[in-house]
């Protein structure tokens, strides 16, 4: 059996009349529904995804964590995560999809903010803040619908920073260990390096070298921000990637092991069972 990739949805191929750029898309949920319920199978995005729900019912599942949809709530997902969405007819609000560069070009810390928002997944607002957000989204949607593609960036630039502030800069729970400032920024950098590179790079020393730190310094940063060692963070990401392929593709366990960079499938099976309590195939059967 040939390997099957997890389907990836790209803004470059988004089917919407409002998409004026490969970097940004905004649609009302009514447009997305098109008069019927929406049920999407597991897939990845190559961009950030925000569901801003005014009212409605359904499920937003992010890396196999299901969230029942609630009114006045923002659901967030970052690139690479595996996603499943169910939206019932009658739901209202907005769906925003954008590449990191769309906001990061004018705000130095936007990438950090985006990553934190992606890890948050669910953010509930008070009525006043939510009403302010929806007014802004109404205005952005009307502006973009009326613009030609060549004017997108000039028309959209003034909205970028307030959009980042309102939607993405929601407060996240502080780590119990109290990592702050530069330490938190280095932690975010480490997490991004692991997420992007773990299929080929699994050694703590390699990540320390990338960040120009000693392994001792790297582990201190990991422990301060997460309470876990760098090695544990690497294993966490490996197991998450394994789960993604086990549940979102029909790959055999040997193929999943190969995707993750393991020539020895027996070692991969032992590693997966150590961290989940199940063999890869047992996990797949249990979860489906």
pLDDT digits (tens, 9 = 90+) for 151-201: 544 444 444 444 444 444 444 434 434 455 677 778 888 988 998 899 999
- Please give the pLDDT value at position 150: 47
Average pLDDT over residues 78-92: 90
Does one domain contain both 195 and 219? yes
In angstroms, the CA 111 to CA 24 distance is 16
Asked if the model's pLDDT at residue 146 lies above 60, the reply is yes
Give yes or no for a contact between 25 and 16, defined as CB atoms under 8 angstroms apart. Answer: yes
Last residue of a domain, one of 146, 168, 190: 168
Does one domain contain both 245 and 186? yes
Last residue of a domain, one of 119, 137, 168: 168
- Please give the pLDDT value at position 172: 44
Query: What count of other Cβ atoms lies within 10 Å of the Cβ of residue 288?
Result: 7
Give yes or no for a contact between 137 and 89, defined as CB atoms under 8 angstroms apart. Answer: no
Residue 215 lies in a domain: yes
- Please give the pLDDT value at position 270: 97
DSSP code for 85:
E
Does one domain contain both 160 and 185? no
Task: Determine the Cα angle at 50 with ends 183 and 55, to 5°.
Answer: 130
- Please give the pLDDT value at position 159: 46
Does one domain contain both 254 and 116? no
Q: Highest-confidence range of 8-17, 79-88, 277-286, by mean pLDDT?
A: 277-286
In angstroms, the CA 180 to CA 186 distance is 10
pLDDT tens across 201-252, in order? 999 999 999 999 999 999 999 998 888 999 999 999 999 999 999 988 899 9
Residue 275 lies in a domain: yes
Residue 173 lies in a domain: no
């Amino acid at each position: 059996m040939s390997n099957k990739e997890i389907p990836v949805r790209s803004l470059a191929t988004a089917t919407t009349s409002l998409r004026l750029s490969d970097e940004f898309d905004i649609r009302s949920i009514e447009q997305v529904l098109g008069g019927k319920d929406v049920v999407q199978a597991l897939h990845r995005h190559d961009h950030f995804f925000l569901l801003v729900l005014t009212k409605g019912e359904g499920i937003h599942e992010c890396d196999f964590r299901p969230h029942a949809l609630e009114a006045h709530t923002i659901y967030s997902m970052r690139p690479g995560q595996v996603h499943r969405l169910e939206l019932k007819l009658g739901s209202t609000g907005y769906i925003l999809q954008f590449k990191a560069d769309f906001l990061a070009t004018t705000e130095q810390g936007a990438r950090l903010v985006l990553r934190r928002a992606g890890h948050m997944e669910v953010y509930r607002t008070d009525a006043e803040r939510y009403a302010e957000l929806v007014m802004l989204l109404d205005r952005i949607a009307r502006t973009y619908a009326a613009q030609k593609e060549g004017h997108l960036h000039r028309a959209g630039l003034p909205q970028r920073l307030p959009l980042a502030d309102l939607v993405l800069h929601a407060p996240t729970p502080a780590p119990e260990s109290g990592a702050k400032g530069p330490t938190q920024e280095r932690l975010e950098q480490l997490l991004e390096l692991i997420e992007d590179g773990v299929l080929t790079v699994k050694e703590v020393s390699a990540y320390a070298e990338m960040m120009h730190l000693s392994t001792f310094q790297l582990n201190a940063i990991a422990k301060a921000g997460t309470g876990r060692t760098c090695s544990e963070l690497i294993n966490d990401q490996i197991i998450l990637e394994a789960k993604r392929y086990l549940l979102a593709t029909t790959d055999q366990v040997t193929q999943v092991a190969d995707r993750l960079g393991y020539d020895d499938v027996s070692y991969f099976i032992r590693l997966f069972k150590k961290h989940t309590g199940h063999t890869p195939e047992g996990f797949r059967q249990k979860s489906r």
